[in-house]
Amino acid sequence: MRIDLIKIEIYTDGACSGNPGIGAWAAVIFVDGDYSSDHVGFEKHTTNNRMELQAVIEGLSHVTYGGEVTLFSDSQYVIKTMTEGWRKRVNLDLWNLLDIQNRQLKVTWKWVKGHSGNYGNELANRFAQGLIKDITRE
């Protein structure tokens, strides 16, 4: 099987309790339509936009070859910056990392409406929100 024929879809979401506040991100990866893996993380003091970006960066970091990836996010901040050239004014450290990844991979950027029943987006949201709940209970 040729590796460049594999279809990878990544669904990402970031969340924050307070803005800034405790934040979490999640990336859910599907390979050839099947669930492959999920990756989550958090920061104790951050913003929602940073978590949206971190989710994308972490999701793409698990693609280990130069194949084609479709990345889904409910963040217009991320998608429109990558597809329409919105100006990068803040979070430049994360934008720089994402720009490097974007040059190394062939990424198709897709916006998906949040909380609209899209399975991958709902799963990423559930993971990010769940992590925040777990952290705030401690």
**pLDDT for res 64:** 79
The pTM assigned to this predicted structure is 0.94
Show the CA angle centred on residue 125, arms to residues 120 and 116, nearest 5°.
65
Q: Does domain 3-133 have CATH number 3.30.70.20?
A: no
**pLDDT for res 4:** 55
**pLDDT for res 41:** 98
Helices (H), the chain: 48-61, 76-84, 92-104, 119-137
Question: Bridge-partner residues for 14, per DSSP?
Answer: 25
At residue 4, the 3 state secondary structure works out as: helix
pLDDT tens for each residue of 112-137: 999 999 999 999 999 999 999 999 98
pLDDT tens for each residue of 8-61: 999 999 999 999 999 999 999 999 999 999 999 999 999 999 999 999 999 999
Higher confidence at residue 64 or residue 14?
14
> What residue segments make up the domains of the chain, in order of their start?
3-133
**pLDDT for res 1:** 41
User: CA nearest 5: which of 28, 32, 29, 36?
Assistant: 32
pLDDT tens for each residue of 82-116: 999 999 999 999 999 999 999 999 999 999 999 99
Task: Quote the CA–CA distance of 39 and 21 in Å, as a whole number.
Answer: 20
